[in-house]
Amino acid sequence: MTRLGAGMTWLLLAVTCLCLSPSARSQPPARLGDSELRIEFAKRWAAYVKRMTEISPERVLNPSSKGPRHFQRCEEYERLIELGPQAAHIFIEEISAGEWRLMPALVRITKWKYELDPESRQAIVVTRRGAVPSSDARSPEPNDFVQWWRSRPETPVRFDRAYKDWKELNRARPMILETTQRIYDNQRKLILTETTKSDLGRAYDRLREFGIDALPVIVEKIKAGDHDLLPIFAELTDGIGEGFGGTLAERAEYVLREWEMHSARFLLPPVSAAKLKDAKR
């Protein structure tokens, strides 16, 4: 397949409520072989480019130009995302060729939270509505995504390190994730509410930042009896086990059964499945 958009420069990510439909991934696509998947991706990409041409021809010809960030605001973009984790290697291939428009899509598929370095973790916040850029960090570039993809074999070790940090903090102040301060005026009217994440809360958030790539590790820890990870598991699997009415042990049994049946929906292709280039910035 011909590379798409080689040499395109990065435009700041902007994800709006117009394109973050919670039902976007409610119907997972059938599992396809790699050749079929690439053909399907090419069809959906062609439909997306056609739609963008209709909306704004000049931005398709010069997608690095500044202006309204509407490149995600269409059904065709959602159709690309619906290909899901099984197509992640194709997305990263195109990103490595400089196709920045697929970067928000890959974040939504993987629920991975981009970080500039261990001290700066606010570049993209992944929520149930999608990926939201932070205002206090530089925007990611295609090469940042390529580096993440290549580093995925380290995910189990890195997750375990973050997990141990969280457990250590949890022993000191169990499950105090955040504190809320309410300020009232002289008439006892609420005028300000401030919520502050605790060190434990930030450590817990760090676990979810790994996205679906950490699900196999999370599942093993749930099997070992760690029920505190059930909310993260639910978030990364589009709600599996969320709202379950039984005990935590029963909920854990339920999500493990569901994982056995549906894990293929959430597993990323191996790193070697993608034929990468060093993206141009």
Q: Domain check: are 147 and 78 in the same one?
A: yes
Question: How many domains in the chain?
Answer: 2
Over residues 86-107, mean pLDDT? 93
pTM across the whole model: 0.71
- Assess if residue 27 is contained within a domain: yes
Residue 130, pLDDT > 80, answer: no
Q: Domain check: are 127 and 189 in the same one?
A: no
Q: Domain check: are 95 and 125 in the same one?
A: yes
Q: Domain check: are 160 and 134 in the same one?
A: no
- Assess if residue 81 is contained within a domain: yes
Identify the bridge partners of residue 179 per DSSP, sorted by sequence position: 196
Residue 183, pLDDT > 60, answer: yes
Q: Domain check: are 144 and 214 in the same one?
A: no
Other C-beta atoms closer than 10 Å to the C-beta of 55 total 14
Q: Domain check: are 211 and 257 in the same one?
A: yes
pLDDT digits (tens, 9 = 90+) for 186-224: 667 766 555 555 667 788 888 989 999 999 999 999 999
- Give the domain extent around 201: 154-265
Confidence class for position 246, pLDDT limits 50, 70, 90: confident
What does the mean pLDDT of the chain come to? 76
> Given this model, what pLDDT does residue 48 score?
92
- Assess if residue 7 is contained within a domain: no
Q: Domain check: are 219 and 131 in the same one?
A: no
Confidence class for position 175, pLDDT limits 50, 70, 90: low
Residue 80, pLDDT > 80, answer: yes
Which is nearest to 105 in space by CA: 33, 34, 48? 48
Q: Domain check: are 22 and 146 in the same one?
A: yes
- Assess if residue 1 is contained within a domain: no
Q: Domain check: are 163 and 240 in the same one?
A: yes
Q: Domain check: are 122 and 30 in the same one?
A: yes
pLDDT digits (tens, 9 = 90+) for 34-69: 899 999 999 999 999 888 888 765 555 454 444 445
Q: Domain check: are 107 and 177 in the same one?
A: no
Q: Domain check: are 49 and 62 in the same one?
A: yes
